[in-house]
Every structure is written in C-alpha cells, then in structure tokens.
Structure 1
Amino acid sequence: MTIDLSDPLLYQTSDPEPVWARLRAEQPVYRNERANGEFFWAVMTHRLCTDVLTDPRVFSSENGMRLDSDPRVLAAAAGRMLNVTDPPRHDRIRKVVSSAFTPRTVDRLEATMRRTAARAIEEAVAEGGCEFTRVAQTLPVSVICDLMGVPEADWEFMVDRTRFAWSSTALDAAEEARKVQAHTEILCYFQELAEERRKQPRDDLLSALVCGEIDGVPLTEQEVFYNCDALISGGNETTRHATVGGLLALARDPEQWRMLRADPGLMPSAIQEIIRYTSPVMHSLRTAREDVELGGRPVRAGDHVVVWLPSANRDEEVFADPERFDIERSPNRHLGFIVGNHYCIGSALARLELTVLFQELTRRVRTIEVTGPVRRLRSNLLWGFDSLPVAFVPSLDNH
C-alpha cells in the first residue's frame, strides 16, 4: 500500500477512514514517503500512539509538533513555546499558563459562553438556518479572547484574523503571504496589549504571561508572544471543528439527537464522543532522540514520528464499532486531547464550550437538516470543515 498521509487533498476530497483502517491492520507504523523525497513514520494504532506521546525522553517535541512547520520559526520557538518544549522547561511554562485558570476566571468565561452561544443560536433559529461554520467560530474565539484579556470590542478582529492565520493549507504564495500577514497582525496586537498589562495587570492569561517567572526569571517578550499565538490557535480551531463535526453527526443520526434532547444526563458522554468522532487535530509530530524499535520498525535518531490521532480514535482494539457515532459510548479512552505531558491545557475549557453550545442547541432546536454540500478543509493538520449549511426547526418548548 502506497499512500501519502500528508497530502491535504486526501482529507478534502475523499474518505480517509478506510485508509487508516487498512494501515492499522497491515502497517501500524507506516513509512510515509513524500513527494519532496522526505519521509516520516506514521503511527496508526491507539497503543502505539500512546507509547509515543507518553515518552518525551525518546520522542521530542522541540523539532516541531506538526508537519511542514517553518524551520526558522521552530528554531526561534523551541524551548520558548509550550507546544515545542520538552520537560523540564515545558512543565514550568505550563505552570505559568495554568495559573490563569482561576475559579473566578472560569466563572467569567462560562458567563461569556452562555451569552455568546445563546445569541448566536437564537439568531440562526430566527433566520431558519445558517452557515454553521460561522456560528461555530463565534464561541471559541470569544472565550479565548476573554481568557487572554482581549476587550470585547476587538473580538471580531480576532475572529477575522484567526480565520486567515490558521486557514487550510495555502494553495499559492499569495495565500501563504496572507496567512503570514494575519499572524503578524495578531502578534502586533498582543505586543500592544502586553505593554498595557505590564503597567496594569488584570485577572487574565496575558497578565499571567507578562508577569510570569521561571526559576525567578521573567518570561521574555518572545516567550509571551509565541505562547499567545499557540493558545489562540489551540483555543480556536480545534473546538470550532469539533462543534461543526458534532452537529453534522447528530444531523445525520436523528435518533441520537432525539436522545440527547430527551436526556440532558447524556451530555457528558456525548461531548466525549464528539471529540473522539471528530478528532479535529489529525496529527502530532515527534522527533526520535535515539535509535528505537517502534511497532517492529527500526526508527533512527532524528527520524520524524507522527501519531495519527483520528486513526487511533477509531482503533478496533479499543473502541467497539468505532465508526459509529454513539453518544452513550463508555468507556471512551480517546486521544482527542493528546495524552502525556502535552495533554491539552485547555481541555476542560473545550469540554465546557462544547457542553454549553450543545445545551443551548438542544433547548432551542427540534430538528436539524443539512441543506447543502458539506465541504471539508484542505489540510493535513485539521480534520475539519469549510462549510456546513443547515436549517433549524425551533423547539416548541424553547426555554
């Protein structure tokens, strides 16, 4: 079997699930040759993905966590950005970031979520339908902006810029330039806001970063901005695509939607199933520090090892009937938030966002109908959506 898992067209124009299933069965550690002559080891099973993700001593993050990263950016960010830092420094940066998640902040964020989700869904219901990808983007951006300390007047700017900055794989040089420009505008914005927070700290994540110290040494300006960039992207794109994919799964299985509306107690397991089933982050890259055998394959020091998360989340050895969307699934040991030292720092926040949004939907919407073509992203990183047009029939007992 010869397939390039890094080809973004595979995820935009075809169904990758049979490819993943065959590789799990035949080549669970697959030598993936690329058109440019490079290769990486693609890890396809739940057990082997877990082995890689939980062993930072052998599998390092400091050479990047995604395919096709800019080597110049990686060289500057390694050891400074949470995503591309190994222990022990990773743990110290994580502690600074985690300090912002105070009970008061979480309460404020939940209030933001309720207000934003209710308004967006009420508007969509009143209009009879919507392009749901646009509805889905409003909640995560508002929440991460609120967490970071971005004033509400600037949230729309961040929605617009993040949509460009973390869009699907660039088709040409002009599109790549637009993405770079969007990143630059985001970083310039945070540079100005950071100056304000240094003078007058508040109860937000940006203040935690600019006032944070590691071993008595303040974070550098680079460390502040790199981690702002990573947190904005992590807090925005993944939750948005899980929301869209979750709604699509429920629209395609009306009985599951009926069950969820009838029994609010199913919401926690439904959210976990949405995360497993949608698996918005497709891959996470590591670099071998030493020669090692993985799944019977000889991995050499310096080789790139890439765990394929949606494949792990459909592993027949772990999940019964894995291609079925089942809101009652239990247990559900998915890897949607990674595992190990890079376990998603915002996982609780993401679950809360999804819970709030789907609670507001079940209260207000009786039935969901897909009204046009569903378009997938052209990306090898995000297994997500460019378009999901839907019509909503309002609930008779809307409350």
Structure 2
Amino acid sequence: MTMPEDAISIGGVDLADPDTYRAGMPYGAFRELRARAPVAWHPYGDKPGFWALTAYDDVLAVSRDSQTWSSQTTGAFLDIPPPEESFQLALIMLTMDPPRHTALRSLVSHGFTPRHVARLRARTADMARDIVDRALRHGECDFVDDIAGALPSFVIAELLGIPRDDGRRLYALTEIMNTRLIGDVEQKQAQLQLFEYASALAADKRARPGDDIATDLLHAEVDGRRLTDLEFNLFFLLLINAGGDTTRNLVAAGTLALMEHPDQWARLAADPALMPTAVEEMLRWTSPVTMFARTATRDTEVGGVVLSAGERVMMFYPSANRDESHFTDPERFDVGRSPNHHLAFGGGGTHFCLGANLARVEATAIFTELLSRVREVEITGPVERVRSVQINGVRSMPVRLRPAAGPRFR
C-alpha cells in the first residue's frame, strides 16, 4: 500500500534516534502527531519501521489487548533481536505473552502487593532518611546517583535478599546496559557480570533459602517445573532493571519539575496531604518509560488505521500522558491534579508495571524527606539526560543541598 506522510515529516524529529531525547522529550512533535496523525508510520533506517501511537486512547487500547498485540513476537523494544537471540523473548517476563507470562508473574506478584509494600513502608522511610542525611552532610552530590538512584537499589536489594552495597553495584551495571548500544562491548560485559551474580545468588538461595523474591523464584514451579538457570538469570536482570529505573527517573525528573515550578513545591510543602496526587502528577509529567513495542497477531485496526498481522506499533507514553482529550491543560504541572488517569505504568492489562505500588512508596518517602528537611537545592553543573529511546530520565544532576525547612530554589 502507499504510505501516507510519515511521522518524521509530520513531527519534525526522528523518534527512533536516542539523540532526539538527549535534548529533552519532543513534546512539540507529539502534539503535532496527535493532531494530524495519532497513528503514523515511522521508518527506521534499513530496519523494520513501526507505527507511532501518540494518542491516549490508542495506547490504552493496545496495552489492554494482549491477544491482538503481542510482546513476544518481535519483542517490546525498538530493535528486534537477531534470530539467534529471539528465543530469549519467551523467557523474559517483559516480552512474554500469556498464559506463561501470567503464571510467571504470579510467582513474584505477592512481593509487590499493596499489603506487602505497606510492610516495607517504614523500612523504606528509614532508608530515605539515611540517604538524605548523607547527602546533607556532604552538601554537594549528584542527585541522580546519590539520592534518586540510591533508594530503589537499596529496596530491591532487600526484596531479593542481597546486601545493600551489592544493590548499588548492580544498579551501576544496569546503567551501563541501558545507556550503551545493543551489542556494545561494555553492554555485553555488564550483562555478563549481572548473569554471573545471578548464578552465584541462585546457588546461595538454593542452599540457604530466605524470605525473599529470589528464593520464591527458585523454589516455585511454573507449568509443573522450576525455572532453569537461564530463566532465573533473565528474571533477575528484569527485577534489577525495573526495580531501579522507574523510581530513579521519577524522583530525579520529579525533583527537577518541582524546582522549575517553585509555586508547586511551596504548595506541596505547605500541604503534605497533597503527596499522593503530587506523586501521580510527577509520574504523568515525567513518564519514566518512553515507549514499548507490540506486534499485531492478526489483521486489525488502531485509531481508524488498518494494520496487517506482523506489523509493529510503538506506544509513546509521554505523549499519551499529555493528550489534550484526556487531561485539562496538560502542559500545566499541578501537584493537586485530580483525576489523573496517566499511563506512566502502562495502560493496565497483562504488562501493567509490577512495581507500581512500590515506586509510589519509594517516591513518597524521598519527597517527604526533601520537603521537610531541605531549604534549597541549587544545580551546580549541567543536567544530563539519559540518551535512550526507551528510558526517559535524567542521568546526572549535580546539586548543592542546604538544610532547613522552606521551599526556596534557584
């Protein structure tokens, strides 16, 4: 068929180029696409192209229909894995389709239920207090590494039953994996180190079971059998990544948003009861994940566009979360926004973020400490964004913290 004007021509930017996002999320391009072509063909060099979904309703519909839209057929990421690696798509929960996805998810879901997360709440608050204590003592730090990245790495370490320091080291390895090109030597070495750690952890937990997710995974059965070593390693890799990315990006970019909107920081500081809506607004505003892919399992249509089986779509969450048809004045950052049915954790359905409750608890703990104990946050160097088509976040943000109780920024 003859392709209409493509997404690059309409929006003016290449949504498949990581350098596009280094300068900031292309909200102007998303607005243009939502207005003119919310389902737009996007070429991808000499690789298979995809349909860019930028409207809320289309992202929501695809997210909730795992029968029509597969994560496993060609993966959930921009690049399709080579044939020799495609077998991994059936082993990683993020790219796995039901019914196996449902069975595997149930193994660890109890570790992320509201009741279990509530038990972690006090512990998480203690860890957040320690992290802010240390940052205030030093005065200057990299906010991403020393505050936003510290808490989720500590919490996931506790959930997995490993030392906190190991959690920090593993977090550093995931950073290498997420900011290097697929196949890059450093990226492969980081993955190898993570696999080696997972293998050693599996041996330890088999010999000395604990009350943690790692033990649950190793001793439970799925479809009448236990996980293989490779399946456990891949699941471990997913937990380390997912356990850190969302919260780290939310806290770092959310803090930056509050600094850029001091009236909203002052409003939140004056009324801490707004914290739940503030966290939801930061999730909407920052959208820690940029996009995930799905592949049509049959001929279908999205937003009035007819697609054939095997065609890929890419769901752009930052665009959906600023869709004018669903959010009043979407370009306004409002810590009291309600209702706020954002899609930062996905649109529900099979792959709704397993750690959504935990991310909210962690963010609340950190922002409670910052609001009550930091008088001023001053940026002391360049704010560097993550160079990624997948992850939307801040990679580095050097700051100076001054203790006191007042929402004053510059």
TM-score by length of 1: 0.93
Which residue of the partner structure matches residue 18 of structure 1?
28
Which residue of the partner structure matches residue 300 of structure 2?
292
Alignment check: 8 A CA contact 2:117 2:361 kept = no
Alignment check: 8 A CA contact 1:109 1:146 kept = no
Q: Equivalents in 2 of 1:348, 1:205: separation in Å?
A: 16
Q: Equivalents in 1 of 2:385, 2:370: separation in Å?
A: 23
Q: Runs of 5+ in structure 1 lacking a partner?
A: none
Alignment check: 8 A CA contact 1:100 1:208 kept = no
Q: Which of 366, 371, 378 is the equivalent residue of 2:375?
A: 366
* Offset at residue 298 of structure 1 (A): 2.2
Q: Which of 161, 165, 169 is the equivalent residue of 1:157?
A: 169
Higher mean displacement: 64-73 or 13-22? 64-73
Q: Equivalents in 1 of 2:83, 2:131: separation in Å?
A: 40
Which residue of the partner structure matches residue 126 of structure 1?
137
Alignment check: 8 A CA contact 2:384 2:397 kept = yes
How many pairs does the alignment contain? 394
* Offset at residue 130 of structure 1 (A): 2.2
Higher mean displacement: 107-116 or 370-379? 107-116
1:201-350 alignment to 2 at 5 Å?
A: 201-338=209-346, 339-350=348-359
Cα deviations across residues 55-90 of structure 1 (Å, max 9, x unaligned)?
A: 111100102111125335752223322111111111
Q: Secondary structure, in 3 states, of the residue corresponding to 1:100?
A: helix
Alignment check: 8 A CA contact 2:59 2:316 kept = yes
Cα deviations across residues 241-267 of structure 1 (Å, max 9, x unaligned)?
A: 111100001011111111111111000
Q: Equivalents in 2 of 1:160, 1:310: separation in Å?
A: 25
Q: Which of 31, 55, 68 is the equivalent residue of 1:58?
A: 68
* Offset at residue 371 of structure 1 (A): 3.0
Q: Secondary structure, in 3 states, of the residue corresponding to 2:162?
A: coil
Alignment check: 8 A CA contact 1:129 1:389 kept = yes
> Structure 1 residues 73 and 380, CA, compared in 2 at 3 Å: closer, same or farther?
farther
Q: Equivalents in 1 of 2:47, 2:364: separation in Å?
A: 44
Which residue of the partner structure matches residue 149 of structure 2?
137
Whichever residue aligns with residue 377 of structure 1, its letter is: V
Alignment check: 8 A CA contact 1:112 1:142 kept = no
* Offset at residue 103 of structure 1 (A): 8.2
Q: Equivalents in 1 of 2:263, 2:402: separation in Å?
A: 16
Does 1:193 pair with 2:201? yes
* Offset at residue 341 of structure 1 (A): 1.1
> Structure 1 residues 103 and 300, CA, compared in 2 at 3 Å: closer, same or farther?
closer
Which residue of the partner structure matches residue 128 of structure 2?
117
Q: Equivalents in 1 of 2:75, 2:202: separation in Å?
A: 26
Which residue of the partner structure matches residue 5 of structure 2?
none
Q: Runs of 5+ in structure 2 lacking a partner?
A: 1-8
Q: Which of 14, 17, 20 is the equivalent residue of 1:4?
A: 14
* Offset at residue 217 of structure 1 (A): 1.8
Q: Equivalents in 1 of 2:70, 2:148: separation in Å?
A: 33
TM-score by length of 2: 0.91
Which residue of the partner structure matches residue 381 of structure 1?
390
* Offset at residue 190 of structure 1 (A): 1.0
* Offset at residue 391 of structure 1 (A): 2.6
Q: Equivalents in 2 of 1:236, 1:112: separation in Å?
A: 17
Whichever residue aligns with residue 318 of structure 1, its letter is: H
Q: Equivalents in 2 of 1:318, 1:102: separation in Å?
A: 28
* Offset at residue 128 of structure 1 (A): 3.0
Which residue of the partner structure matches residue 81 of structure 2?
70
Whichever residue aligns with residue 366 of structure 2, its letter is: L
Q: Which of 75, 92, 104 is the equivalent residue of 2:103?
A: 92
Whichever residue aligns with residue 92 of structure 1, its letter is: A
Whichever residue aligns with residue 213 of structure 2, its letter is: L
Q: Equivalents in 1 of 2:80, 2:89: separation in Å?
A: 12
Which residue of the partner structure matches residue 46 of structure 2?
36
Cα deviations across residues 254-291 of structure 1 (Å, max 9, x unaligned)?
A: 11111111111000001111111100100011000111
> Structure 1 residues 104 and 19, CA, compared in 2 at 3 Å: closer, same or farther?
closer
Higher mean displacement: 65-74 or 367-376? 65-74
Whichever residue aligns with residue 48 of structure 2, its letter is: E
